[in-house]
Every structure is written in structure tokens, then in C-alpha cells.
């Protein structure tokens, strides 16, 4: 015979008071914080791994970057001068920067930009000529937000105007 399931008794007054208490507690001493993206953006370290750029003047066409890529996101394209230069398929790329580390002449460089939006799959394919400059990017953020912790381990939010960030 099936056991009868009884619903637990709910005290709506206690529930509301509890919700209010959580709200007040979070207001006084927040444990989480929502960044108002894209008007605000998160601060990232200089070594943050984002999209790559390549200086073809320095590139020696050695293929090391393509061999280092663990997901085969790098394709080498033949240029009119007979050399091969890398292009990246960002729909495959996992932004690991193994290619940047493998480049023996430092022509392939990482940037901290990683949140570009692509209108379609085709535009995620960056050919060598697309890799000369930073990706086109509309940055609407006025503020940069940094998470930190005080000496007691409490979350500390530092909000800076973008112009103040070095």
C-alpha cells in the first residue's frame, strides 16, 4: 500500500520575514554582486587570455602555433609572398594561448578581449589579414568592476571609471 505523502506546513509570515532578513543582510554585507554588463565590465589581469593578434612583419611562417593548438583552430593561409600565416577559427578556439607561448618570435600576441559577439559562424573565422589589429569591439562600459577581499575574507567591490584603469 502506497504511503500517504503529507505536505510540510509553510508559515508564510516567517517565510517573508526570512526573505527580508536575507535582503537586509546582503545589503549590509554582500556576498555576491551583479555586474551591470555591458555598462560595466569585469576587471581582468594583464595576462588574461583573450583573442590574438599577429604581426606578419615578425612572423617567420614556422607553423609552430598551428602545431601547438590542441583543437586545430589555427589554419595556415598562403600569402602572395609565398609564406604561410596563421588565421584562427574562434568557434573552435578555447583561448588557451598555447599558440602564443609556442611562437618563437613573439609575433602572435594575446589580448585581454574575450567577449566579442559574432553575428554568424562565418565571421568567427579570422584570416591572416583580420589578425593585424584588435578585433572590432564596441565597448559600452563606463565602469570597470574589480572583486577583492578584505583581511576578514569579506567580498569587497572596487568600481572604477574606465578612464582610471591603467
Q: Which residues bind ligand SF4 (CB under 6 A)?
A: 54, 59-65, 68-69, 71, 73-74, 86, 88, 93-99, 102-103, 105, 107-108
CB of 90 to ligand SF4, least distance (A): 8
Min CB(96)–ligand SF4 separation in Å: 4
Q: Is 158 strand, coil or helix?
A: strand
Beta carbon of residue 131, minimum distance to ligand SF4 (angstroms, whole number) = 9
Rounded to an integer, what distance in angstroms lies between the CA atom of residue 107 and that of residue 110? 10
Terminal CA-to-CA distance of the chain, rounded, Å?
71
- Phi, psi angle pair for 33, to nearest 5°: -150, 140
Q: Which is nearer to ligand SF4, 125 or 160 (CB)?
A: 125
What does the alpha-carbon distance between residue 166 and residue 156 come to, in Å, rounded to a whole number? 20
Toward ligand SF4, which CB reaches closer, 41 or 107? 107
Amino acid at each position: 500500500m502506497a504511503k500517504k505523502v503529507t505536505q510540510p506546513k509553510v508559515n508564510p509570515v516567517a517565510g517573508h520575514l526570512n526573505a527580508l532578513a536575507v535582503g537586509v543582510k546582503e545589503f549590509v554585507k554582500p556576498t555576491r554582486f551583479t555586474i551591470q554588463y555591458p555598462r560595466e565590465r569585469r576587471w581582468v589581469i594583464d595576462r588574461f587570455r583573450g583573442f590574438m593578434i599577429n604581426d606578419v612583419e615578425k612572423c617567420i611562417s614556422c607553423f609552430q602555433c598551428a602545431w601547438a593548438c590542441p583543437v586545430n583552430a589555427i589554419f595556415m593561409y598562403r600569402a602572395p609572398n609565398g609564406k604561410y600565416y596563421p588565421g584562427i577559427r574562434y568557434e573552435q578556439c578555447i583561448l588557451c594561448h598555447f599558440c602564443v607561448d609556442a611562437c618563437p618570435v613573439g609575433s602572435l600576441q594575446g589580448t585581454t578581449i574575450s567577449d566579442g559577439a559574432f553575428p554568424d559562424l562565418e565571421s568567427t573565422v579570422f584570416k591572416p589579414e583580420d589578425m593585424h589589429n584588435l578585433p572590432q569591439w564596441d565597448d559600452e562600459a563606463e565602469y570597470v568592476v574589480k572583486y577583492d577581499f578584505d583581511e576578514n575574507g569579506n567580498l569587497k567591490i572596487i568600481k572604477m571609471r574606465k578612464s582610471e584603469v591603467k
